Structure 1
Amino acid sequence: MTSAPLPDLILEPLVRAALMEDLGTYGDITTRTVIPEGRRYSALLNAREAGVVSGLQIAALAFRLVDPTLVITARFKDGDRIAPGDLLMKIEGSAAAILSAERVALNFAGRLSGIATLTAAFVAEAEGTRTRITCTRKTTPGLRLVEKQAVLHGGGFNHRFSLSDAILIKDNHIAAAGGIRPVLQAVKARASHMIRTEIEVDRLDQLAEVLDEGGADVVLLDNFDTPDLYEAVGMNAGRLVLEASGNMRQERIAEVAATGVDYISSGALTHSARTLDLGLDF
């Protein structure tokens, strides 16, 4: 999938909401109180640890929304590897505007760079195999779009963005509908030919039932141990796309990728990533 920049038009509502939250009802009273009017300055956005950067586009947008006259020079782009001390971006202009946007810009860039960095670590574990690393919908409410973009910056792939993207039949759907065959029969009878279908299975006998019934494009192998993953790949024989999920810690990725599954999905990419240490220095 592409990690090309998103249009600012799409990102602006997210950044604007974060700025409004931070500026409150009366703006940056500290800056208005202590910074002389008209004071101009240069600020440097620096990396304080190694990783993969993401969120620079959003950081720049935060500064521009506060003051469109700020001059922003990016030295790196989203998806680049960075080292401690790297100068990522220079911001020149109104000191008050830079200070008012600083926290929002750093929150986005640090959070998203953490996701990109963790994703890159997962991807490295699967190197040399056909397996792709993908995220889930376990994202911060309201920030799914940019967190999934950060996964792309880290070299990963995106799962569905919303409930309306694809049919994903989970164990609770199967229980409520009366079994695997009824749900797949419903898909074959009602689903648009433009929509892909994935179904979750917990056991090898359920996989056999899916393969026999048909109607799915992808099978999610949930919490399978490694021997069962090998057997599932053999049973499938390339017919459907296989996604391994559940308890996919970084230290297990290489072992799971070696089984030959097509995808490994992990919610940890977005819900457990540590913020990367970036700083804005005057």
Structure 2
Amino acid sequence: MKTLENQTLLYDIDCPLCQVYTSAFIKVEMLDQNGRKSYNQMSEEEQVFVDVKRASNEIALIDNKNKTVVYGIDSLLKVIGFSFPWIEKIGNIKPFKYLLKKLYSFISYNRKVIIPSKKKEKQPLQCVPDFNYKYRFLFIGFATLVTTIVLYNYSALFTSLPKANTFRELLIALGQLFFQSIFILKLKKETIVNYAGNLMTISLMGSLLLLPTLLVQSIYTMPQTVLLIWFSLTALIMFIEHFRRIKILQLPTYLCVTWVIYRIIILLLILNF
């Protein structure tokens, strides 16, 4: 690999994905050993020429020699493109660049609901992206779609349950958002939407845990008991993750109780109608 020297990426230390790929750049020698540092370690000198606000939304690449900065997908293309020029050329073609920017923004603006982190009150510089309603609702929609498809296919495996349909699973996924929101209506709209994003991340996580069973089932017919046990374990993991996120978000713990109540209500409705 060709090493891009005298360049430093400012990454979000609370974002595991950011840590992994910036560390990988250094490990494979795309960047030198000083090629990354956390956003909150930005010096006062750097804060003069770095757009601090923008750098919290789009990872910043500082040219330490010329004191210039590029952001987001441009910074990633510059790092990767130094070793693989053809990738940078393709990435800079307008249609591809547009799609890459949208994908980057989709992930960046939602990274705190994908993997939440506690606010550090005593830390002046925190790499927290702006709250973006458009990308948050897009993420909620994406997670809802995946959850609906997976649950529809998983429910169809249970012969003792009423026949599944995608509309029912969609209503269940959306119903969860409305049901839980009822209990926090007095909070700020931004807090409610943020919680909704976390709820759908948990549902998405649960769907991904069910996928291996669906793949195995396509090859080998598994006993209904095994399917039920796996589903129950998935629900337990989701509950534990919900409880953990409630603590991080500093929301009322009774939301964990209502989360369970909603699922009991849905189960009773499915069994009786």
TM over 0.5, shorter chain: no
**Could you say which structure has the higher strand fraction?**
1
**Could you say which structure has the higher helix fraction?**
2
TM-score (norm 1): 0.28
